[in-house]
Homo-oligomer: A and B are copies of this chain.
Amino acid sequence: MSTQDIFKAISDPTRRQILKLLHGGSRTAGQLAEAFDVTKASMSHHFAVLKAADLIRSERRGQQIVYTLNTTVLQDAATLLLDLLPRGLARPRGARR
């Protein structure tokens, strides 16, 4: 769950799309997989990367696994990016630290 893990995770377009889909609320692995033209195994790999970065959380519900966006870490990532800017140029409202 390092900074590098986060940036690596969001560097892939499929994974960014997954995060975007999780906007709309939690989804099962199967529901997410349907939205993409890759195998479930590949999707599972992407989930693992996102989980390693703590960008998503998983919870088993019966036979299915439900993924949920971890908005806190995503906000942190945005903050990290904004930190690359000269101070005071842009800042998220209510940024921590």
Q: A residues bordering B, Cβ < 8 Å?
A: 4, 7-8, 10-11, 13, 16, 19-20, 23, 69, 71, 74-75, 77-78, 81-87, 89-95
CB–CB B8/A84 < 8 A: no
- Oligomeric state, in number of copies? 2
Tell me, in angstroms, the Cα distance from A95 to B83 when the chains sit together.
Answer: 16
Contact with A19, one of B13, B19, B84, B91 (Cβ below 8 angstroms): B84
Would you call A92 and B94 a contact (CB within 8 A)?
no
CB-based nearest B residue for A4:
B13
Among the listed B11, B75, B94, B95, which residue makes an inter-chain contact with A7, where contact means beta carbons less than 8 Å apart?
B11
Which one of A8, A23, A94 has the greatest number of beta carbons of chain B within 10 Å? A23
